[in-house]
Amino acid sequence: MTDTVFELRRYTLKPGARETLIEVFDTHLVETQEAAGMSVLCQFRDPAAPDQFVWFRGFPDQAARTQALPAFYDGPVWAQHGPAANETMLEWHDVLMLKPAAPGSGFNTSGRERLPPGTGDLEDGHPYLAAVHHLEPGTTDDAAAFVANAIADAVCAAGSEVLASLISDRSENGFARLPVREGECVVVTLIRPAIPQAIPALEAALREMAPGTGRVPDIARLIPTARSLLR
């Protein structure tokens, strides 16, 4: 089933704790989350922010999200490994709930295979860009989708690949134990630049597109962990 609900989760960690979290996450918290009914799509290091861990997960729909989250977080795997993960974190509530900007603009992971547990990281993983463009809180979904399409067109015109084009899902959060940022209206674009040398020009083009609030978009260069499905 194709996912229609996504979370962009950005954690601020205790200094020096990122590798500990990645070890716990990639070893114990990938297949076990998926067994509970969600998709672990990609997880990243941010080289410019050594105390940040960034990841996306997906759900078939809101009802599935409401069922999957308590099934996992009240289950035995999180009881065993959750304390070690939580011990690495200073902030874990920077979460955006999202949906595809248009049909088919969510993550397409068909044909992708995850590397087995214990796989070491490549020395030079391919960089990705995650761009968060801020819109006025009252922006309609149609207007947000129009902005998302314009951003995606600009990325493709620059020769890079859009892996996901998403807008805010302002549905009620069905699992209050894990808060999301309410009142937000954003466009989130995950991009795989054609070549690393193209990144500065691509970042400049993304920054020029500051619709709605006029806030400079949040743009992060990200490197996938070894077990990220997108890598």
One-letter amino acid at 179 equals P
Residue range 14-24: average pLDDT? 97
Residue range 165-171: average pLDDT? 97
pLDDT at 119: 73
State the Cα–Cα distance between residues 165 and 153, nearest whole angstrom. 11
pLDDT at 213: 72
Per-residue pLDDT of 110-138, as tens digits, reads 778 898 887 776 556 789 999 999 999 88
Q: Where are the domains of the chain?
A: 5-108+123-224
pLDDT at 115: 87
Question: Domain spanning 5-108+123-224: which CATH class is it, in words?
Answer: alpha beta
pLDDT at 124: 60
In this predicted structure, the answer to whether residue 59 has a pLDDT above a threshold of 60 is: yes
Q: How many CB atoms lie within 10 A of CB 120?
A: 7
Per-residue pLDDT of 182-215, as tens digits, reads 989 999 999 999 888 999 999 999 998 877 677 8
* Residue-averaged pLDDT of the chain: 93
State the Cα–Cα distance between residues 85 and 78, nearest whole angstrom. 9
At 221, the pLDDT band (50, 70, 90 cuts) reads: very high
* Percent of the chain with pLDDT strictly greater than 70: 97
Residue range 148-169: average pLDDT? 95
